[in-house]
Chain A
Amino acid sequence: MDPTPFIGLSAILFTIGCIGVLVRRNAIVIFMCVELMLNASNLALVTFARVHGNLDGQVAAFFVMVVAAAEVVVGLAIIMTIFRTRRSASVDDASLLKY
């Protein structure tokens, strides 16, 4: 079987995640879209591991999941702090900093 469909799927998911980050307004949903992007990368890594016949890509995907878990912890802590201060998780309301 051709690896192209696998990489294609990962590219499509990455693009969808990317659009999601740009168009969504809730910080938590934006964060979900980032997770989608990371997962798409994992899919590419695992496919390439298969293509090259070594395990490096799979190990990398495993590492990425651990990193993602740590990122979720930090991200949600920051989002919750902001929410408690201003009662909203919308990124557009966070606008004290102007260009």
Chain B
Amino acid sequence: MTAVQVVFVLLSLVAVVSALLVVTTPHLVHSALWLVVTLGAIAGVFLVLAAEFVAWVQVLIYVGAVVVLLLFALMLTRAPTGPQPDLTVRRWAPAAFVALLVAVLLGATLVAGFQDVRLDLDQAVVGSAEVTGETVFRRWVLPFEVLSVLLLAALVGAIVLSRLRSEDGDD
């Protein structure tokens, strides 16, 4: 095993274990914190795959913004800090069914899909900010601009739902 492979194995172990904890822990807040660990490990895997830009965006947006927002939401909904035995429903049958379905589907694609493909991890095609930016602004410029509209729509909508108007009804 090369050094890169060792790093990958460690990262994926961390990601899977912490993802399982996100799904099973009886503590609400722990769930969010384990999510941080999973997302961090995935960011590491992105680096192994030489997707530099995506890795840092993952750290900035997901770990930095999304999870913090989720933690705020947990605080605002007065999530209890102690364990909550009723956080997980005993609806294992349908869950197991769907999980089995997804696992079989994805497993089949895996086994059959990559028999003769090799990844050369030493030959670096680094997804740096520069090349990513160039691709975004040439090939993907329309969806990128539309994304800004999406963010504005989300912003306006969230304000509509949450903002109380001032006393005299003027704003």
Report A's interface with B, CB cutoff 8 A. Answer: 1-9, 11-20, 22-26, 28-29, 31-33, 35-36, 39, 42-43, 46-47, 49-51, 53, 55-56, 58-59, 61-63, 65-74, 76-81, 83, 89, 92
Contacts and interface: CB of A to CB of B under 8 A. Distances in A.
A7 B107 CA distance: 10
A40 to B, nearest CB: 8
21 contacts: A1-B118, A6-B49, A9-B12, A11-B110, A22-B98, A23-B88, A28-B28, A28-B73, A32-B32, A32-B35, A35-B39, A36-B19, A42-B58, A49-B127, A56-B135, A63-B143, A65-B54, A68-B62, A69-B66, A77-B161, A81-B162
A50 B50 contact: yes
B8 to A, nearest CB: 7
A interface secondary structure, majority = helix
B132 A32 contact: no
Contacts of A70: 150-151, 153-154
Contacts of A67: 147, 150
Interface string B6-44: 001100100110011011000010011001001100100
Contacts of B119: 1-3, 6, 50-51
A19 B50 CA distance: 30
A13 B150 CA distance: 27
Contacts of B62: 35, 39, 65, 68
